[in-house]
Each structure stands twice: as C-alpha cells, then as structure tokens.
Amino acid sequence: MRKVFVTVEAAARTAPATVIVAIDGPSGTGKSSTSKAVAAKLGLRYLDTGAQYRAMTWWMLANGVDVEDPAAIATAAGKPVIVSGTDPAAPTITVDGADASGPIRTHEVTSKVSAVSAVPEVRARITELQRTLAATAEPGIVVEGRDIGTTVLPDADVKIFLTASPEVRAARRSGELKGKDAVDLASTQAALARRDAADSSRKASPLAKADDAVEVDTSDLTLDQVVECVVTLIEEKRTA
C-alpha cells in the first residue's frame, strides 16, 4: 500500500479556508431551509439571526417590557443572555439558560419582533453576538438574516439575497403555521407585507441587498435547486 506523508504546513496549505456565507432576504423566500441544507452539505456551522431577534422579543414580553416603547426596549436590551447552538442539523436557542425554540415562533412574538429589532441598542447587542460566533466558527458558517451582507459581515466571502413573489412567500409561510397560529392566505400575505415594510424602512440596518450579493429568485425553484445554486456559488468562490 502506498503511504502518503503530508507535513503540517502542507496540510494547512491544502485545507479549505474558513468560509463565511451571508444569506439575506425577507421571510418565505426559503432562507432557513436553504441555509441549513447548504451548511449541512458543506460541513459548516449555521446561524439563524431571526431567532436571536425573536428570543430578545420573547424575553421582553415575558418580563413585562413595553414593546411599544423604544426607550424601555433600549434600557432592557443588555439583560437577556441569548445563546445560539450552530449545528445545522439541530440548531438551538436559549434565553437565560431556558430553551426558547418553541416560544419564539408564536404569533405574539412574530407580530412584535419588527418593533423590537428596530431599536439600535437591540441591534448592537445582537450584532456583537453574531460577529463573535462568525469569527470563531470552524471551518466556516452560513449566517441567515436581513442585514448580514450589508452590516453584520460586510466582508463575507459569499453573499446571497433570496427573493420570491408575495404569493409564493405567503403560501410557504402558511404551510409552516400550525394549530392556533394558522390563518388564511390573504392574512398571511398582508402580515408579511407589513413586516417587510417595517424591516425595510427602519433606520438601523434595514433589510437590504448588498451591492455585491447575488440575487436568487426562488419562486419557481425547488429547495434542492436553490441549495445546488448556492453550493455552486460557494464552491466557485472557494476555488477562485
């Protein structure tokens, strides 16, 4: 059997470099499913930044902070301890040590998260958590959100901006909502439009496509096709 000896220096030279991938876009464009699948396929870590804003919102509601009052939100923004687990096969989120993955998906949190995430003190706190996670993720990370390519990680190696038609987004979102949170398609589409308008028009790092992001319209694509497209873009970048 032929033996191959590789020096530490040579291994370091040939090992793929750390890769940071930013995937932004509004909800219902397939961001979460795509980001998790891409991270799993490439052996990267995964961060759902929307979950962090939801966790902050849940904590504010649970602790009696008036979420209509930006000053009250700003004062409380430093208090909750939010920890994200970045395994794409089983991402986790805890607040003050308690599992928050269920409560952050309720209709109440969804309807208040845009107001909470518009407060600059909230964004500064969560942006710092995101940058720390990205800087320490080996061998890289896929970070999904609204402002990752523009503000949080402007030097990301690959930036993707996912879009889809309002009808397709509403249909996908309705499919995710279960039990008492389920509402009809028209209400879902109206709620998405309201959240988009709030997220895109806020002063502090709004939802926006970075100039150097690749836009992918997912309306007529299957999840596998979107994943394939993003993986190809990352591999092209890695071998460039």
Give me the residues that bind ligand DC (CB under 6 A), please: 27, 49-50, 53-54, 113-114, 117, 145-148, 195, 199
Q: How far is the CB of 192 from ligand DC (least distance, A)?
A: 9
Q: Is the dihedral of CA 219, 162, 57, 69 positive or negative?
A: negative
- Closest to ligand DC by CB, 19 or 195: 195
Q: How far is the CB of 55 from ligand DC (least distance, A)?
A: 10
CA distance to 35, 78, 102, 175, per residue, from 227 (Å): 8, 36, 26, 20
Q: How far is the CB of 149 from ligand DC (least distance, A)?
A: 10
- Closest to ligand DC by CB, 61 or 235: 61
- Closest to ligand DC by CB, 141 or 148: 148
CA distance to 10, 28, 143, 159, 196, per residue, from 163 (Å): 41, 8, 16, 13, 12
Q: How far is the CB of 113 from ligand DC (least distance, A)?
A: 4
Q: How far is the CB of 239 from ligand DC (least distance, A)?
A: 29
- Closest to ligand DC by CB, 19 or 127: 127
Are 145 and 169 in contact by the 8 Å Cβ rule? The answer is no
- Closest to ligand DC by CB, 114 or 140: 114
